[in-house]
Amino acid sequence: MTLHRRTLLTLLPVPFVANRAWARELSADLRRGGYVIYLRHAETDTKPEPTLGDIKDCLWQRNLTPAGKTQATTIGQILKELGVRYGQVASSPFCRCRDTAQLVAVRPAQVLPELLYHVTQSPNEQAAGIERLRVLLSNHEPGGRCTLLVGHAPPFKALTGIELAEGQAAIILPRQTKDFDIAGFLDAKGVRSRDDG
């Protein structure tokens, strides 16, 4: 995948605080739809997950903390205030991702095995997951709506070189032929540029 450097330089010139006009422009674009919002699940506890258990059983998994639930709810409120309308809302099968999607979109998410990631996956499984993520990020949502995908940091980092923090989203503009641009980022503080700390 080739990220379009000219587009990125146009979209991500200076930090958010110094470029509110840029943030307003991207916010208006989000209202018009056609973007993919790829969100890493919100803040979790530190429970280790050395093995992959029954994915429907939340007890063994790292789950959202109270702060994480608040974080996800805040992100959902920001997107609502921006006027974002959702088409597909989908998440990794992990409980923390499903819960994040529910809190953000205020509706149950479609569970997509394609968004699953775990450290025990083989290199081939991880590579296949990265390619599936590339396809998902390249799909344009019609009808003035945005796609919300809630997943994990490692596949996105492998694909883009960018590591999302818990509760941070990349705002993706799909292109043709399995390609996309990163238009900006979103977290519980609002829309921001790549350069903003």
Break the chain into its structural domains and give their ranges.
5-192
Cα 86 vs. chain centroid, distance in angstroms? 13
The per-residue pLDDT for 194 is: 63
Per-10-residue mean pLDDT, the chain, length 197? 36 41 84 96 92 93 97 97 96 98 96 94 94 94 94 96 97 86 94 69
CA distances from 137 to 58, 147, 173, 182, 183 (A): 27, 9, 8, 10, 12
Instruction: Judge contact between 56 and 116, C-beta under 8 A.
Output: no
The per-residue pLDDT for 7 is: 36
Give CATH for domain 5-192. Answer: 3.40.50.1240
CA distances from 62 to 48, 59, 65, 109 (A): 7, 8, 9, 19
The per-residue pLDDT for 10 is: 35
Instruction: Judge contact between 140 and 119, C-beta under 8 A.
Output: no
